[in-house]
Amino acid sequence: MLPLEAPVSPDNTAAEVAALERKVAAEPDDAEALVQLGLAYQQRARETADPTYYPRSEAALRRGLRLGGDRLTIFTGLASLAASRHRFEDALAFARHAQRLAPVNATVDAVLGDASVELGRYRQAFAAFDRMARLKPSLAAYVRVAYARELLGRPAGGIDAMRMAVAAGSGNAENTAWTLTQLGTLEFDTGHVEAATRAYRQALERLPGYVHALAGLGRVDAARGELLRAASFYRRAIAKVPLPQYVIALGDVERVAGREGAARRAYALVGAIERLFRANGVRTELETALFDLDHHRDVRSALTRARAAFIAAPSINAEDVLAWALYRNGNCVAAERHSSRALRLGTRDALKLFHRGMIERCLGHAGASRAFLDEALAINPHFSLLYAPTARRLAR
């Protein structure tokens, strides 16, 4: 979830939540306190990845709405919450409610743009981000400019914008650490492993023990072949916040290191975490489909889920996963069509290019396949612990 302007006191959201809960218990009709509590629950969800905060946030915001709370803040908060649950049509509808109340508002443009990106409405999304940056240059605005540039195949410009986001700073330590971690990920995704390492370590200086930075260091150690150190970083991250993507990454490290039992245990945990997210209103079809496709599990069901995810939110990421699902199920003609659309913005994403290279190989287009695989490796030779070795072998 991309950050909005921090709605709670700096650096101690847990204490802020506790204080607001006490206030609401004492004054249950305090609409303003309910709204602030709903937003604080979302920040806690960001910090802990605990999806049980989502229904609590929704209940507080909706109760605040019934009691006459500030409608602009509430609709913006509901839009952000819906986006966090991967319910992007709902997010867009709430954002439009907010926009009718405040046609010129940077925070409204943020949630409007976020939802539009995931729905594949890129022109609308980028226009919203541009308005936001003009209205209120800030960490939240520069992060979105960075993401837009990355999508448009301008990774260097994305890195520049993310550095501007870091320089802009935030009153909330988690938002600043998150931004440094995103800078590290942009650096890693363009093959700059040392620069990525520096950014992840800076995030840990800003917020010691920060989960996403620990996982980032796991990723760079895996790229260097330091699999024991990589597994250690992933375990430290998971012990704090068991996010599915980091549990999967740990399983992949264990698998590549030859520790099959440990890999199976990690992969088994993924299902339990995903069920918890679904129970709290989060759509997980896209993520579970990709996990199953990458690990050769129930590819027919994965295709069904990939289609459902794409229909609900036809972003280029969903288009790419659908293409990969079609490839895994042997329908390479349809896969090529969706892969072409997944690359239509010019995004320099090594994994998407790898997928395209494998699809071209399936179609018997050897030259095109090697070209896409070469391009993926040129962007980032460490783009995937599982697939980079395959790309190197086939690109020869």
CATH number of the structural domain spanning residue 122 = 1.25.40.10
Q: Please report the pLDDT score of residue 3 as a whole number.
A: 63
Going by the DSSP 8-state scheme, the letter that residue 382 receives in this structure is T
Residue 131 belongs to a domain: yes
CA atoms within 13 A on the CB side of 17: 17
Q: Which of 110, 136, 162 is the last residue of a domain?
A: 136
- Segments of the chain with pLDDT less than 70: 1-11, 170
Residue of 329, 323, 332 whose CA lies nearest to 365: 332
Domain that holds residue 343: 308-396
Residue 165 belongs to a domain: no
Q: Is the dihedral of CA 357, 359, 362, 368 positive or negative?
A: negative
Residue 50 belongs to a domain: yes
Q: Please report the pLDDT score of residue 46 as a whole number.
A: 85
Q: Which of 89, 121, 136 is the last residue of a domain?
A: 136
Burial of 64 from C-beta contacts in 10 A (0-12 / 13-18 / 19+): buried
Neighbours of 253 (CB within 10 A): 28
Residue 14 belongs to a domain: yes
CB-CB contact of 8 with 36 (8 Å): yes
| Torsion angles phi and psi, residue 328, rounded to 5 | -65, -25
Distance CA 332, CA 364 (A): 10
Q: State the total domains in the chain.
A: 2
Q: Please report the pLDDT score of residue 7 as a whole number.
A: 47
Model confidence, pTM:
0.93
Residue 268 belongs to a domain: no
Residue 143 belongs to a domain: no
Q: Which of 115, 136, 157 is the last residue of a domain?
A: 136
Q: Please report the pLDDT score of residue 1 as a whole number.
A: 59
Residue 65 belongs to a domain: yes
Q: Please report the pLDDT score of residue 9 as a whole number.
A: 45
Residue 387 belongs to a domain: yes
